[in-house]
Chain A
Amino acid sequence: MMKIIVCTKQVPATNEVKMDPVTNTIIREGVEAICNPFDTYAVEEALRIKEKQGAHITAISMGIPTVAPMLKEVVALGVDEAVLLTDRKFAGADTLATAYTLAKGIGKIGDFDLVICGKQATDGDTAQVGPSLAETLSIPHLTDVGEIKELNSKTIVCRRMTDDGYDELEMDLPCLITVTKEINTPRLPSILGIKKAQKYKVHKFNANICEENDIHIGLSGSPTQVVKTFIPTSAVECQFLKIKALADKLRELSNIEEEGN
């Protein structure tokens, strides 16, 4: 049976993000923590594969112990197993150290055919962990997948939207894909699922999955230096033009373009 791993991350609910004007960081106090919205599409896609052709799905996340209930919610949706990588030594990880730690966790879980990630997390918005994880695992990957066209025990055919049109690409398994919200409509849990999740105990892996004094995890494994964070201000100005002024403006712009060419 196909083995699928889905990566999930807990993020602050972001429909109304408030920034601290002094520190320029997201105010997390009093903000509900949720499963990264893009990851819910990853979970749903894994569940659809399971329903269609059978699969065993393991969800994995790295975070503090209170992330466990989020993983239980994923189990309520129909995921078979859930693993939480949690240890003080993992703290302070950037995307490189996170990908490394996830790869270690996946190594402990065992064989897999397909890893599915959301295209990015809504808090950091880097879109780096998916590709970085694939490189660490030494497997091929494809980002921004909007549709899985074919999937068998050997290969996967994916479709993704690009600026120039659609790509349709085939990859050998095992591999990793990151998915966009066009791929499906995530489901809500059923009562049956919630009952199962209540009894389920999330597996917790600590830093023992790594070598002793492994320098690739946590803060020591994170070369990223955040020099400055700031709230961007919009520089776009809107002008209202009468028809004639608009025509002049368009003429002026088209001249500039022609000259540029």
Chain B
Amino acid sequence: MPNIIRKMEDQYAEYLKDESRSVGEAASISFPKTQAEVLETMRNCLAKGENITVQGSRTGLAASAVPHGGHILNLSRLNHILGLRYDAPRDNFFVTVEPGVLLSQLRKAVADKSFDIKLWNDKSVQTLEKFRAAEWFFTPDPTETSASIGGMVSCNASGARTFLFGPTRNYIEALRVILPNGEVLNIRRGRHFAKERKFKLKTENNEISGDLPSYIMPEVKSAAGYFVHDNMDLIDLFIGAEGTLGVITQIEVRLIRLPKAIWGITAFFPNEPSALEYVKALRNENKKYPWLHRPAAIEFFNCRALDLLRSQKANNPAFAQIQELKPQYHTAVYTELHGHSVQAEEMPVLIGGLGDLINFVGGDEADTWVANNQRDLEKLQFFRHAMPESANMLIDQRRKLDPTLTKLGTDMSVPDRYLNTVMEMYNRDLAEADLENVIFGHIGNNHLHVNILPRNKTDYLKGKELYLKWAQTNVANGGSVAAEHGIGKLKTNMLEVMYGASGINEMRRLKSLFDPNGLINCGNMFAPAKEVK
């Protein structure tokens, strides 16, 4: 046994769970600090036929990092930033990181332009000078900044700014993956493509080939199941694969130029229809507003969400710094404008137009909070982050009385034209079922997090029923059951709603091409083959 493998003991109990709050079991755990240690540990486990569950910083909401027996390969200490590269024609910087690097760590290094260069080669160090001459940023912004980059790649994480910039996938340039056969695969974007749905990948000494699943992915924001399409770039197969095809040990991420100005505006509306009208106007669906360029983010808070924040502010000192929410504030929409081409001085003009728009759809430009610098933006981001935190805290209180209760948080998206329909459905069904809830999230992509907050077991079961019903309706309307949190071990039945038993079987077959013995991250996305038989 390599000396980094530890028997599971009480002191490691934290590592049996993640942010989904479900708890698993494991026989052993390791915390490799180098890629060589990962390889050695994996080969050791694989030789013994032992299951491996990979963990980043365990901030996932779908239990992907929760072990179901076997070994926990925790990559939180494999956290070096290894180098920097500039691509002149694309005007992008590329940073090579290990999977345990946290989003907050990468952001700080990029913003401060300060890196630990001990492990860097000369070329990377020389690039630093050019890097320091301008401002750069990594756009993916899941609300939880302690997420690891490896975890973000594995579930193709998104955030508020995904509305403009797309998900993590769009910013991943190269990956190093240790395959379940113990071989190392280096894959770079633009080099390896499928032929229609057939693929072939050369590894160190072998070749893996076969068919990709045949399903058609919905044309909405989605992180459900393998990413597949005809003639796809094969690097995309590993992004959002929830660790089922191998263990990612190195990642090259792409940075773009930081916008010259970033303004955040939270607008409060007297009712929900006005807020929805504003969202559609912000998306410029009818091209009615030629002056308005696409916002970076459009986020939503319904009336019950604002009420929960009001009570948090009143009762919990941690939320006291939230600004006063006036009684007439019924529904809120946060939007973020980035000025790349416009001068920073032109932003006020843009904001002025936005004020007219708010008045036009039935709001009041006086009922807005504007942040035009980093400190104030952080206040608005704190307000946004306080939303899921508040819902979780409320449920944690209730779990003290009934530990079987959990929050039921949806993560579904639908096409633009179904925005009103889906909101009506959620509101009607929740009122009819008399379930306590808050609705918030990424409304720009019609991707709302309905959080059902069960008061008791009956509520919980009613909520689960509704959740499944909504999944069926949203899929029928061309939506996705998991837009950003992934499927993990908690939503496998939802994935089946989306792609049917045949789709799941095709995914299972694809996994078995890489992992014939079913040893790596089994149970994520679909139940392991051996349990099905």
Contacts and interface: CB of A to CB of B under 8 A. Distances in A.
B322 interface: yes
B78 interface: no
Contacts of A13: 375
A194 B376 contact: no
Interface residues of A, number: 15
B370 A187 contact: no
26 contacts: A13-B375, A15-B375, A32-B373, A34-B373, A185-B320, A185-B321, A185-B323, A185-B324, A187-B324, A187-B369, A188-B376, A189-B369, A190-B365, A190-B366, A190-B368, A191-B265, A191-B358, A191-B366, A192-B355, A192-B364, A192-B365, A192-B366, A192-B368, A193-B366, A194-B370, A195-B355
Contacts of B375: 13, 15, 34
Interface string B367-383: 11111010110011000
Per DSSP, are chain B's interface residues mostly helix, strand or loop, or mixed?
mixed
Q: What 10 A-B pairs come out closest when comparing CB atoms?
A: A191-B355, A191-B365, A188-B369, A192-B366, A190-B368, A192-B365, A191-B368, A190-B366, A189-B370, A187-B323
Nearest to A188: B369
Interface in B320-363: 320-324, 348, 351-352, 354-355, 358
Contacts of A192: 355, 364-366, 368
Interface of A: 13, 15, 32, 34, 185, 187-195, 198
B326 to A, nearest CB: 11
A50 B379 CA distance: 24
Interface in B288-321: 320-321
Contacts of B354: 191
Given A195-B365, A198-B348, A190 B370 contact: yes
Contacts of A189: 369-370
A38 B400 CA distance: 41
Nearest to B324: A185
A32 B265 CA distance: 21
A116 B373 CA distance: 25
Interface of B: 265, 320-324, 348, 351-352, 354-355, 358, 364-371, 373, 375-376, 379-380
A147 to B, nearest CB: 14
B172 to A, nearest CB: 31
A15 B322 CA distance: 20
Contact of A185 (B322, B364, B373): B322
A25 B470 CA distance: 62
A122 to B, nearest CB: 13
Given A13-B375, A32-B373, A191 B351 contact: yes
B273 to A, nearest CB: 21
Nearest to A73: B372
B360 to A, nearest CB: 13
Contact of B371 (A188, A193, A195): A188
Nearest to B322: A185
A188 B323 contact: yes
B321 A191 contact: no
B263 to A, nearest CB: 10
A187 B325 CA distance: 11
A24 B424 CA distance: 63
A201 to B, nearest CB: 16
A35 to B, nearest CB: 11
A54 B453 CA distance: 42
A85 to B, nearest CB: 25
A34 B376 CA distance: 12
Nearest to A76: B370
Given A194-B352, A198-B352, 13 more contacts: A34-B373, A185-B320, A185-B321, A185-B322, A185-B323, A185-B324, A188-B323, A188-B371, A189-B369, A190-B367, A191-B355, A192-B355, A194-B351
A187 B324 CA distance: 8
Contacts of A15: 375
Contacts of A198: 348, 352
A79 to B, nearest CB: 15
A74 B484 CA distance: 40
Chain B CB within 10 Å, residue with most, of A189, A191, A198: A191
Contacts of A195: 352, 355, 365
B322 A191 contact: no
A180 to B, nearest CB: 14
A13 B376 CA distance: 12
B140 to A, nearest CB: 24
A41 to B, nearest CB: 12
Contacts of A185: 320-324
Contacts of A194: 348, 351-352, 370
